[in-house]
Amino acid sequence: MSLHLHIDRLVLEGTTLSPRDAARLQAALGAELEALLGARSLHPDLAQGTVLPNFPAAPMALPSTPDPQAFGRQLATHLAGTLAPGPKP
């Protein structure tokens, strides 16, 4: 099975990241999502090849540390819990 995930726009309310920090967050988010989704079973609806025009995620508290890489990893974990909620079979 292959997975293609394209995030066109990510809205993070309540934070102001510099362009450099946004790029670091994006890189950490992508790497962590790749690792997490590769190690889990996809949600059954997504495993059928569903295309989602948008994906409203549950609210998430901003981390106390302004480290964009740590925030990207935390955000990936948060998103992966919905996209691939279970362990890999």
Q: Is the pLDDT of residue 28 over 90?
A: yes
The arithmetic mean of pLDDT across residues 16-33, rounded, is: 90
Residue 86 has phi, psi (to 5 degrees) of: -115, 170
Sign of CA dihedral 1, 75, 28, 6: positive
- Give the pLDDT confidence of 34-81 residue by residue, as tens digits: 888 877 777 666 667 777 777 777 788 877 767 899 999 999 988 888
More confident residue, 22 or 53: 22
Please report, for the chain, the start and end positions of each structural domain, with discontinuous segments joined by +: 19-48+64-87
